[in-house]
Amino acid sequence: MFPDLFRDDVFRIETRRLWLRWPTACDADSLQSLAGDEAVAETTARIPHPLDRAAVDAFVVASRAANLAGTGLTLALCERSRPGRAIGMIEIARGADSAVAQLGYWLGRPYWGAGLMTEAADALVHAWFAWTPATRLDASARVANPASRRVLEKAGFVRTGRGPAGVPARGGAGEADRFRLERGRWLARADAGQCALAAAE
């Protein structure tokens, strides 16, 4: 699914303010603290609350295994000035019930409102279409999370519908808007200079 370039743990994508790199065991404390925030968990469809350390450790191990196998790409977001501290996560992976790749992400609450996730999503989407033969990428955003919908819209995604979303343990799954970005639309945006350029190593 993913090229060999992505399957090495030294791989990273650099943007103006961020590093996107493989998660490590050293990220677990930060991830538990930030993702364990109820306000953050409520913006996602997959993070449970409360979030225990065992779940975080298992997530890091599973993410690294998927990265290595080339079945997904999960990256920790870090400020360029502090590349050793994860402040959020972003991934492209296939769901168990879908052959189509899905974009997912979350960002720690202290970092909201600065456009960091828009920067990260644009860079990863650009890498996805530039370095894979994929024809489309899907995503979803909770109806109650307009900031996440704006991230997708700024990256070129188009809303395709609405459906259920949520972690059952949180009660009240709510609804999510479904989004899709086709390769042709991405190419048109790239040709028009609407995609951020990112460096990868």
Instruction: Residue 67: give the domain boundaries.
Output: 4-196
Here the CATH number for the domain that contains residue 36 is: 3.40.630.30
pLDDT at 142 (0 to 100): 92
Mean of pLDDT over the chain: 90
In a domain, 126, yes or no: yes
Predicted confidence (pLDDT) per residue in 123-148, tens digit? 999 999 999 999 999 999 999 899 99
Per-residue pLDDT, averaged over 161-183, amounts to 76
State the pairing for strand pair 136-142/101-107. Answer: parallel
| C-alpha span between 87 and 98 (Å, rounded) | 28
Residue 47, in any domain of the structure: yes
Evaluate if residue 97 carries a pLDDT over 80.
no
For residue 49, tell me if it sits in a domain.
yes
CA-based end-to-end distance of the chain: 19
Residue 121 CA to residue 23 CA, distance in Å, equals 17
Q: Is the pTM of this model over 0.95?
A: no
In this structure, what token pair is assigned to residue 149? 């919908």
Within a domain: 104: yes
201 occurs within a structural domain: no
* The pLDDT value given to residue 169: 40
Number of domains in the chain: 1
Q: Is residue 75 part of a domain?
A: yes
The answer to whether 102 and 134 have CB atoms below 8 angstroms apart is no
